[in-house]
């Protein structure tokens, strides 16, 4: 494969994992919204504590699963960025400051960590 074709494929892989990250965030947010709605529905129809515990445990499981998928996506993306730097040493990825990856990673990871802590609290409270 020609280097420019390999670079295009590498960039497409980076874009793929970036799109996958945001699709995953939408699904995770929807699942959490559904579980929160289930856990905190109208006070006129209180939820049985055993069902609340099941919902909270499911929230913990989904948080861990989606966080793990996010970490794997980060690893794949980091690998493809290294490949892109090797293929184009003076390209975009070579000039990009290294700290930007951390500035993105922290808020994205917090999207999974905060609900995880919330659901742990709900299990302990329940």
Q: Give residue 43's pLDDT.
A: 66
Q: pLDDT tens digit string along 82-93?
A: 999 999 998 888
Q: pTM of this prediction? A: 0.86
Q: Give residue 96's pLDDT.
A: 84
Give me the DSSP letters along 55-117.
HHHHHHHHHHHHHHHHHHHHHHHHHHHHHHHHH-TTSHHHHS-THHHHHHHHHHHHHHHHHHH
Q: Which residues of the chain have pLDDT under 50?
A: none
């Amino acid at each position: 494969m020609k280097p420019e074709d390999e670079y295009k494929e590498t960039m497409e892989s980076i874009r793929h994992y970036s799109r996958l990250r945001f699709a995953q965030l939408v699904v995770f947010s929807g699942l959490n919204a559904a579980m929160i709605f289930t856990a905190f529905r109208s006070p006129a129809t209180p939820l049985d504590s055993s069902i609340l515990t099941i919902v909270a445990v499911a929230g913990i499981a989904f948080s861990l699963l989606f966080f793990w998928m996010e970490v794997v996506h980060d690893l794949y993306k980091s690998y493809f960025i290294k490949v892109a730097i090797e293929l184009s040493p003076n390209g975009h990825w070579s000039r990009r400051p290294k700290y930007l990856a951390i500035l993105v990673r922290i808020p994205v990871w917090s999207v999974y960590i905060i609900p995880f802590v919330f659901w742990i609290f709900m299990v302990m409270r329940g």
